[in-house]
Amino acid sequence: MTTESRIESVTEYINEIAKLSKRSTSIHTFRGQRNSKWLDNPGLLRENSKLLTHEYSAIRDLHSIHPQEFSQDLNMFDRLVRMQHYGLPTRLMDVSSNPLVALFFATEPSRSKHGDIDGRVIIYDVPKSRRKYFDSDSVSCAANLANLTDEEKSELLRNEEMELDDFNKLRSCDRLLQFIRAEKPHFRPIINPKDLIKGFYVTPKMQNSRIIAQHGAFIIFGLKVVRVRGNSKSPDTISRTMIDIPQSAKAPIRRELDGLGINGSTLFPELSHAASEIVRRYSQ
């Protein structure tokens, strides 16, 4: 994975974002990671995650233990958002429409046995066809994959090249349709396998203070991770560009962001995080 550029200040960063905006008519969304070596995967799909094969059971276990927490959620996507908020890895990847929020997360200190580690901001170029809202049919298809067993998801993936009619005759596809129609009774009983493969950028309900504060959105992943770097020739693909932040620039950039009102207490408005931020501020 190569890097498009490196920056050492907020000004340099904003200039790079402005250059990207001039080159594209698509919308951009941003993700910050404190370790530049990490792949930009949702928690469920990371290489060292053993949870993927148990996604079906993990979802049900959490729902069974705390059913009241999910009583207001109208669809599976809303439930996945809530589960991720409380720490369960899902097929959702957090992104933000605000580039400064991503920069904040990219400048979080990170160390390994080899020393300090650079951070990274990933900028996703999202074509119109991949932008959806929380109540989209395509999003319902991808989100309800979480309700299938590992064997059922494997059957769908093996047969992704099938003709549409044959694909929809699969037992696993019929089961997926049952879950979708439980939340959308009028859903047309045809599932396009493409909606189960590629990711979608999803604008969620602004239903919790953290999503609001972080200008949050999600990329929901389907049956596999599809990666494209730089400007894709396909108008239907989410492409990405990387900006790295050297570890030596993390602390100065954090101070700049603090002066712009981007800090732990504004991005994590819960009382416990606000208290931690106050302690940090007065301990410097």
Domain range enclosing 50:
5-282
Distance in angstroms (rounded) separating the CA atoms of residues 21 and 39: 24
- Number of separate domains in the chain: 1
Q: Where are the alpha helices (DSSP H) in 49-149?
A: 55-65, 76-85, 99-106, 137-143
Question: Tens of pLDDT along 184-208?
Answer: 999 999 999 988 988 899 999 998 8
Q: How confident is the model at residue 2 (pLDDT cuts 50, 70, 90)?
A: very low
Query: Per-residue pLDDT averaged across 4-26, rounded?
Result: 90
Entry pTM: 0.89
Answer whether residue 275 shows pLDDT above 50: yes
Taking CA atoms, 143 is separated from 7, 28, 32, 41, 197, in Å, by 36, 22, 23, 16, 12
Position 230 scores a pLDDT of 59
Neighbours of 12 (CB within 10 A): 16
